[in-house]
Amino acid sequence: MRQFLAQITKEAGDAALKKFKMAGLKYGTKRNSADIVTEADELANEMLLARIHAKFPRHGIISEETGEYESGREYVWIIDPLDGTRNFLTHTPLWGTMVALSRKGRVITAAIYDPCHHELVLAEKGKGAYRDGAKIRCSSTDDLAYSYGAISAMIKKERLAFTIGLMRHTGGEEVWISGFGSIAVSASSVAAGRRDWFVSSGAYVWDYAAPALILSEAGCKVTNTKGRTWQMNDRALIAANPLLHRKLIRLMK
């Protein structure tokens, strides 16, 4: 299963990469004008669907681009073929392909692939997280004042309130936060210890399923904003090492 997951995630990401920076790339909108989809999203999605249906015809699928197919089945694949579409469209090399497999509502294996930097992160429940075959761990930073966090690039009211709270906690001085514009890139960075924490809200199961398992297997505590273990119906996710996570949760109250 792990080999199949790695293979299809890389294939889809590499197919999208061939259209990166392509002149005349076709794109449109979905739910609103800020929700962009390109022909690269659709191509990667079609490839993933075809490979999964051919290999596991009895499995369900939840995809950002095509919705749900038999999502009540025991095994369900959760895919975001191109996370960070706005970055992709603006020729910014911060985007990725995310695929997860759940069993009875719990994610059991996951992959995040960064095609621009050829990095593949894999995790399996209870077996750790790996980047290109090498085991990765989250950072051990325990002081928010010296931490380097990651959020989505989009600023919402709750995220602004969180940032203000963080600045107050650190004495009103500067705080270091990366707005990558891609949950795939943010989660991989925290899992590998490049960033210390990740806070996100308002996204969907295809945005969080793969990151939640990978971050957890890398040693992070992964919860919703109330501090409860992240579940597939949660619309927010907070991840950090346990010491830092405790402090982040306090800022949410």
Length of the chain counted residue by residue: 253
Alpha helices in 120-221 (DSSP H): 157-169, 183-191, 205-217
114 annotated binding-site participant: no
Torsion of CA 67, 49, 230, 137, to 10 degrees: -150
The whole-angstrom separation of Cα 183 and Cα 236 is: 12
Task: Check the annotation: does 68 bind a ligand.
Answer: no
Residue 120 annotated as binding?
Answer: no
In whole angstroms, give the CA distance from residue 247 to residue 232: 24
Q: In angstroms, rounded to a whole number, what is the distance separating the alpha carbons of residues 199 and 222?
A: 10
Strands 148-151, 176-179: pairing is parallel
Is 80 part of any known ligand binding site? yes
Measured between alpha carbons, how far is 241 from 219 in angstroms, rounded to an integer? 6
Are residues 15 and 43 in contact, defined by beta-carbon separation less than 8 angstroms?
A: yes
Q: Is 144 annotated as a binding residue?
A: no
- 174, with CB counted inside 10 A (0-12, 13-18, 19+), is exposed
Surface-to-core class of residue 109, CB atoms within 10 Å of its CB (0-12 exposed, 13-18 middle, 19+ buried): buried
146's CB contacts (< 8 A; 6+ apart) are none
Residue numbers in the known binding site for Mg(2+) are 64, 80, 82-83, 207
Residue numbers in the known binding site are 64, 80, 82-83, 207
